[in-house]
Every structure is written in structure tokens, then in C-alpha cells.
Amino acid sequence: MLKKRIIPCLDIKDGRTVKGTNFVDLKDAGDAVELAKRYVEQGADELVFLDITATVERRKTLVRLVERIAEQINIPFTVGGGINSVDDAEAVIRAGADKVSINSAAVRRPELVAEIASGFGSQCVVVAIDTKFDGNRWQVYINGGRTPVELETLEWATTVERLGAGEILLTSMNNDGTREGFALDITGALSTTLNIPVIASGGAGRIEDFIDVFRQTEASAALAAGIFHFGILSIADLKHALHSHNIQIRMI
């Protein structure tokens, strides 16, 4: 059985790590390089870096910051935000990223998923899906959660898997920053339907939330930000707790 992964996320705005609730009310959470080093020491399995305003500001990802983080870590590193072409993907991979995450650009031009997969391999392509439940269905949002599009989440995930995505980063906007637990229903639907790994994101607040997502869904990994950034929970303590509940996890 593949071991479950714990992934801290660095949401970057103006070169600093930030964290909000439901994608708004952003608060400063510290220096990205220092946080990255801390998480490696604590035993993080991977790291995700998302330049959260690159798309809406119509600029490229902060490549120099990617380089600085990559120099300090030795775990797989995913970078997203402002990646709109194969050239953009190549730039962050050259800067030290192991994978690229695409979101809005994939919705606007789905062929980009296949192009990056063709150039660098499916294992390099993470499609991030920001989704919100509107009372009837889970709908896809783009532009940092600002713009709804006429795509149903499971249908879109199935499409990008067919195009060559190697992994899905699924963030529930309803749960994001609430610390009330992951969205188990949509995470379960994707993780049991798809044949590629699904990373659960949005809502982690307690150790029990990670236990629930790993026991009640087929999620391969769980991503969190605020609870790690603000010292509410350490990755080391989380991993020991998961191990004690017989969840397969990599220990250091």
C-alpha cells in the first residue's frame, strides 16, 4: 500500500506566505524560505508553492523565489500560479520545481495539460481544482477562486485525467481556512473515480480531520497551510498520531 502524504502549502502574495479563509481575508504567515526549511525538518513529504495572485495580476510566477526555496529543500516541490504555457512550466522546472500546478490556464485551454504532459511527463502535471458547493453541485472556480465556470468538478477532473494530468489538487472553497475538516464527499467522489492520486485540500484544523480524510476517502495526500504556519500543529506530531491510528505514513 502506498503511504499517505502530508503536504504543507505556501500561498504566496507579494513574495510573502499568506493564509486566508474561503480564499479571502489574507493574513501574513511568514517568510516562504524559512517555512519551507522548517517543514522539511519536521518531515513533510512534499511542498506546494502557489503564487496565488499571478493569474489575476497577469504576470509570471515568482521564479527567483522558487529557486531560493528549491536550494533549501530536498523533497518533491510543486509550483503553481501564472503558468500559462509549456515555456512557463519549463521555467519553474528549471528553477527547481519537480511538478507544476495549473488551474485557470487549464480551464481556458485544456490542451495545455496534454502539452505539458507530453513535454515533461504526466508525473510533472498537477491540475489544481478550486471548487465550491452551491447547494446543488460542486462547481469549478478559476482566477484564485474569484470566477465560477460552467464545469462540474468530477466531470472536469475526469477530463484532465484523460488529457494527461498525473495528479489532482482538490481544494474545497467552502472548507478553506475554516479548520472544520476536509470536504469528504467531493474528495471521496474524485478519489474513488479517478485512477490518479488526489490531494485533499481545504479545512484541516485537527489531527482528526486528517484521520477522517484518509479513512473515509481514497485521497493519497492531505494538504494544509494555516495550522502548520501558525504553529497549531506540527507535521511531526501529526505523523506520529496518524501512525498510532494505523494509517500508513512515512516517518522520519
User: Of 11, 51, 98, 176, which one is the catalytic site residue?
Assistant: 11
User: Of 98, 130, 176, 209, which one is the catalytic site residue?
Assistant: 130
What is the DSSP track for the chain? Answer: -PPBEEEEEEEEETTEEEEEETTEEEEEEE-HHHHHHHHHHHT-S-EEEEETTTTTTT----HHHHHHHHTT--S-EEEESS--SHHHHHHHHHTT-SEEEESHHHHH-THHHHHHHHHH-GGGEEEEEEEEE-SS-EEEEETTTTEEEEEEHHHHHHHHHHHT--EEEEEETTTTTT-S---HHHHHHHHHH-SS-EEEES---SHHHHHHHHHHS--SEEEESHHHHTTSS-HHHHHHHHHHTT--B---
Instruction: Mark whether 209 is an active-site residue.
Output: no
Instruction: Mark whether 130 is an active-site residue.
Output: yes
Tell me which long-range contacts 34-40 makes (C-beta under 8 A, separation of at least 24): 35/8, 35/10, 35/229, 36/10, 36/69, 36/72, 36/73, 37/72, 37/73, 39/8, 39/228, 39/235, 40/72, 40/73, 40/74, 40/75
Q: Are strands 125-133 and 138-142 parallel, antiparallel or unpaired?
A: antiparallel
Active site positions, annotated? 11, 130
